[in-house]
């Protein structure tokens, strides 16, 4: 992926979601999308959908018929199994976490049965680590109920709980495994059963289940900060959230900070400088193109308008050139993912009135140019001819068969012809013409002061190839449209 050197262009052909998107998980050429939606691309999908990352097609797989009120907030894949977490019921399932066949969508019998929701997960391949509102695991038909306050590790095949029990006092919002350590951020302020203070961030040794020395302190203004997101990249740990200070520093670190992965000390050179909300959300922190990309709820980064998504130099935090969307801050971005030359964005809330734009795709490099074509374009369709107050306004729809990415017409322009010949019935007026090149988008217009003329013709062209003309005659009446066929 080339450097972000232009405002990103939305792929308008990519399917949208009608509800919040919490997680976009890439697996091969497939994107697994999870959230609170009921449709993707107009097709019914209850909270989980699979989308072809290359074509944008919504795949036919359906993942369960969940009861109303479902929310899926995180996911991971091991082998052919998609593990999904959140708050949901239905299909004889207790909820909180579920395993589904990623190909068929079938619900698998695996069920650790926590007695609360599961907000986030991580894995080292041998165990699945999960955190949420629960206080017990294995409360169903598998195993014996075990006390686990807000965090547990379970076998990915049997669902049985392991001995892992680091004893946090509130749920995590994000976790990741790095080497032999589980890094976690969230609303807790103690680990090891209350024996060790860790305000908002901690790392646990997976051999001993004891907290390490890693201790970024999110005490903010006398109260808890709110770290939400985690990313490990190139020897640093990046934490996003809703906070302004870390490690009792006097300097602001609003929303995004880089810390040492061993000690938690702040990497002082990194300064993202977020404002206008200043929050980075849960699944919206990633590294691509040698940059850190963060999404959330903010208006500016480094003093530049960035509307809730921005990229940063991983060492200095200097804001890059990535621009996505309008200059007005939209709904919060909850999830980001990349594939090929695109960035995918999931958000909680819509800009469009019908709520259908909560999943979008954006070209991270300029869209590829259309293939070189030779041939004759289609005939335009004239919408109307208006003659009024000394002006003539001719409007037509651009040809549609040449659309490529983002519905940009693949023609080089349009030619407008006019005539003073009264003999319109035999089209002789096209022999006495003045031609101009007119370039436009989906609807195209040409206007001029009224002269002595009796008709127009419009054609599209690609290089030297000109298409068939569409004709319209003008009469002295205020408004007239009479297409010649």
Q: How far apart are the C-alpha atoms of 455 and 308, rounded to whole Å?
A: 51
Taking the C-alpha atoms of residue 40 and residue 17, their distance in angstroms, rounded to an integer, is 5
What's the CA gap between 218 and 241, in Å, rounded?
10
Q: Predicted confidence band at 258 (pLDDT cuts at 50, 70, 90)?
A: very high
Both structure tokens of 174? 């994000």
CB 36 within 8 A of CB 347: no
Residues 173-189 pLDDT 10s? 999 999 999 999 999 99
Report the range out of 5-14, 38-47, 437-446 with the highest average pLDDT.
Answer: 38-47
Residue 356 Rama label (left phi>0; alpha psi -120 to 50; beta): alpha
Rounded Cα distance, 437 and 414, in Å = 5
The CA-CA-CA angle for residues 286, 287, 289, to 5°, reads: 140
* pLDDT of 20 above 50: yes
Which pLDDT belongs to residue 375?
Answer: 61
What pLDDT is stored for residue 225 in this prediction?
A: 65
State the Cα–Cα distance between residues 400 and 411, nearest whole angstrom: 10
Among 78-87, 266-275, 349-358, 374-383, the least confident range: 349-358
- State what percent of residues in the chain have pLDDT above 70: 75
Q: Which residue has the tokens 């702040």?
A: 266
Class of domain 381-484 (CATH, top level): mainly beta
Evaluate if residue 356 carries a pLDDT over 90.
Answer: no
Confidence class for position 392, pLDDT limits 50, 70, 90: low
State pLDDT tens for residues 360-380: 998 876 665 555 455 666 777
pLDDT of residue 317: 95
CATH architecture of 9-363: 7 Propeller (2.130)
- In the predicted model, what is the mean pLDDT of residues 157-167? 95
Supply the pLDDT for residue 319.
93
286: closest CA among 9, 36, 7, 24?
A: 24
The highest-confidence range among 6-15, 160-169, 441-450, by mean pLDDT, is 160-169
Average pLDDT, integer, range 278-292: 93
Query: Based on C-alpha coordinates, what's the Rg of the chain?
Result: 29
Output the pLDDT for position 433: 41
Contact between residue 285 and residue 233 where contact means Cβ atoms under 8 Å apart: no
| 110 vs 142: CA distance, rounded Å | 9
pLDDT-derived band at 343, boundaries 50, 70, 90: very high
10-24, 436-450, 458-472: segment of lowest average pLDDT: 436-450
Give just the sign of the alpha carbon dihedral 184, 187, 190, 191: negative
Q: Report the pLDDT value the prediction gives residue 67, as an integer from 0 to 100.
A: 86
Query: What's the confidence (pLDDT) of residue 436?
Result: 47
Q: Of 52-61, 339-348, 370-379, which gets the smallest average pLDDT?
A: 370-379
Phi and psi dihedrals of 430, rounded to 5?
-70, -10
Q: Scanning the structure block, which residue is given the tokens 């990415």?
A: 405
Nearest to 84 by CA among 41, 44, 57, 50: 50
What pLDDT score does 461 carry? Answer: 74
The ranges assigned to domains in the chain are: 9-363, 381-484
Phi, psi of 431 (to 5 degrees): -85, -15
- For the whole model, what pTM was predicted? 0.76
**What's the token pair of residue 139?**
């409360």
| Residue closest to 176 by CA, chosen among 237, 99, 103 | 237
Confirm if 106 and 132 have CB atoms less than 8 A apart.
no
The pLDDT score that the predictor gives to residue 236 is 97
> Which of 239-243, 403-407, 479-483 ranks highest by mean pLDDT?
239-243
- For the chain, give the percent of residues with pLDDT over 90: 50
The whole-number average pLDDT for the span 262-266 is 96
Lowest mean per-residue pLDDT among 146-150, 167-171, 220-224, 277-281? 220-224
Burial class (CB in 10 A: 0-12, 13-18, 19+), 479: exposed
Statement: residue 405 has pLDDT above 60: no
Can you give the three-state secondary structure of the chain, one letter per residue? CCCCCCECEECCCCCCECCCEEEEEEECCEEEEEECCCEECCEECCCEEEEECCCCCECCCCCCCCCCCCEEEEEEEECCEEEEEEECCECCECCCEEEEECCCCCECCCCCCCCCCEEEEEECCCCEEEEECCCEECCCCCCCCEECCCEEEECCCCCCECCCCCCCCCCEEEEEEECCEEEEEECCCEECCCCEECCCEEEEECCCCCECCCCCCCEECCEECEEEEEEEECCEEEEEEECCCCCCCCCCCCCEEEECCCCCCECCCCCCCEECCCEEEEEEEEEECCEEEEEEECCEECCEECCCEEEECCCCCCECCCECCCCCCCCCEEEEEEECCEEEEEECCCCCCCCCCCEEEEECCCCCCCCCCCCCCCCCEEEEEEEECCEEEEEEECCCCCCCHHHCCCCCEEEEEEECCCCHHHCHHHHCCCCEEECCCCEEEEEEECCCCCEEEEEEEECCEECCCEEEECCCCCECCEEEC
Greatest Cα pair distance in the chain: 97
pLDDT at residue 8, as a whole number: 80
Confidence of residue 416 (pLDDT cuts 50, 70, 90): confident
Average pLDDT over the chain, rounded to whole?
81
Per-residue pLDDT reduced to its tens digit, 92-144: 666 699 999 999 999 999 999 999 999 999 999 999 999 999 999 988 777 78
**Residue 455 pLDDT exceeds 90:** no
């Amino acid at each position: 992926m080339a450097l972000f050197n232009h405002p990103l262009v939305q792929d308008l052909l990519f399917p949208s979601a009608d509800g919040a998107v919490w997680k976009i998980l890439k697996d091969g050429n497939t994107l697994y999308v999870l959230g609170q939606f009921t449709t993707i691309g107009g097709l019914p999908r209850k909270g989980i959908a699979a989308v072809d990352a290359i074509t944008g097609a919504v795949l036919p797989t359906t993942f369960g018929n969940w009861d109303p009120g479902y929310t899926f907030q995180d996911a991971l894949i091991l082998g052919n199994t998609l593990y999904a977490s959140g708050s949901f019921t239905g299909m004889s399932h207790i909820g909180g976490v579920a395993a589904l066949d990623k190909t068929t969508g079938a619900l698998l019998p695996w069920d650790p049965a926590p007695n609360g929701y599961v907000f986030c997960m991580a894995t080292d391949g041998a165990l699945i680590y999960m955190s949420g509102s629960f206080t017990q695991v294995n409360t169903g038909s598998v195993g014996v109920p075990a006390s686990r306050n807000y965090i547990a590790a379970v076998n990915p095949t049997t669902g049985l709980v392991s001995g892992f029990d680091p004893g946090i006092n509130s749920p995590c919002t994000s976790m990741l495994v790095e080497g032999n350590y589980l890094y976690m951020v969230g609303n807790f302020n103690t680990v090891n059963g209350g024996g060790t203070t860790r305000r908002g961030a901690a790392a646990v040794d997976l051999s001993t289940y004891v907290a390490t020395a890693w201790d970024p302190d999110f005490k903010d203004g006398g109260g808890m900060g709110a770290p939400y997101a985690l990313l490990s990249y190139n020897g640093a740990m990046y934490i996003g959230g809703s906070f302004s200070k870390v490690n009792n520093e006097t300097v602001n670190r609003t929303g995004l900070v880089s810390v040492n992965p061993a000690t938690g000390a702040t990497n002082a050179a990194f300064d993202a400088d977020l404002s206008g909300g200043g929050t980075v959300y849960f699944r919206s922190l990633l590294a691509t193109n040698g940059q850190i990309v963060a999404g959330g709820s903010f208006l500016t980064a480094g003093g530049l308008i960035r509307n809730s998504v921005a990229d940063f130099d991983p060492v200095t935090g200097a804001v890059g050139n990535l621009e996505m969307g309008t200059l007005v801050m939209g709904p919060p971005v909850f999830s980001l993912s990349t594939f090929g030359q695109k960035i995918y964005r999931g958000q909680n809330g819509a800009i469009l009135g019908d709520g259908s734009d909560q999943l979008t795709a954006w070209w991270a490099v300029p869209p590829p140019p259309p293939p070189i074509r030779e041939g004759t374009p289609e005939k335009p369709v004239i919408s109307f001819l208006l003659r009024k107050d000394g002006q003539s306004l001719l409007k037509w729809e651009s040809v549609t068969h040449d659309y490529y990415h983002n519905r940009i017409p693949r023609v080089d322009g349009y030619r407008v012809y006019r005539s003073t010949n009264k003999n319109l019935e035999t089209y002789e007026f096209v022999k006495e013409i003045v031609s101009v090149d007119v370039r436009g988008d989906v609807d195209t217009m040409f206007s001029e002061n009224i002269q002595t003329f009796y008709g127009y013709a419009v054609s599209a062209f690609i290089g030297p190839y000109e298409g068939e003309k569409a004709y319209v005659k003008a009469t002295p009446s205020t408004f007239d449209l009479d297409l010649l066929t």
